[in-house]
Amino acid sequence: MMVRAVVGEMLRALGYAVCEADSAKAAIALLRKGRSITTIITDIQMPDITGIELANMIRHARPDIRVIYMTAYAKEATQKGNQLLNHDVLVKPFTFDQLESVMIERLQQH
C-alpha cells in the first residue's frame, strides 16, 4: 500500500493522471468501467494474482495498454530467459528519475 501511494505521488508530480487500485480485482474493475487508461504499473508479487497474470488479463481485453512491472527481486528480473526482459521493469527501490525515464521511454515508443 505504501509503495502504491508513493508511486502515485511521484507520477502526479510528473504530471500524470493517476488511478490507484488496491488489488488486481480493483484494477480490472477500473478498466471495465471504461476508464481512459494508457499505462499500468503493477508489482509482480501481489496477494491474489501476480502482476504478470494481471497484465496478461488486461492485455487480452486492451492490447493498447502499456505495462510497467515493479519488483524487489532484481536478480530474477534480469536473468537470461526471463520473460520480463522484454518489458519495462523498475527494481525497488527505484528513484524518481528512474520512474520518469521509464515513463518517457514508454511514451516515445507509442
| CATH among 3.40.1440.10, 3.40.50.2300, 3.60.15.10, 1.10.150.120 for 2-109 | 3.40.50.2300
- pLDDT winner (highest mean) among 13-17, 36-40, 74-78: 13-17
37 against 77, higher pLDDT: 37
Is there a contact between 28 and 51 (Cβ–Cβ < 8 Å)? no
pLDDT in tens, 12-36: 999 999 999 988 999 988 888 877 8
**Burial class of residue 40 in the structure, from the number of CB atoms within 10 Å of its CB (0-12 exposed, 13-18 middle, 19+ buried):** buried
pLDDT of 44 reads 86
pLDDT of 100 reads 94
Domain boundaries, the chain: 2-109
Is 70 exceeded by the pLDDT of residue 70? Answer: yes
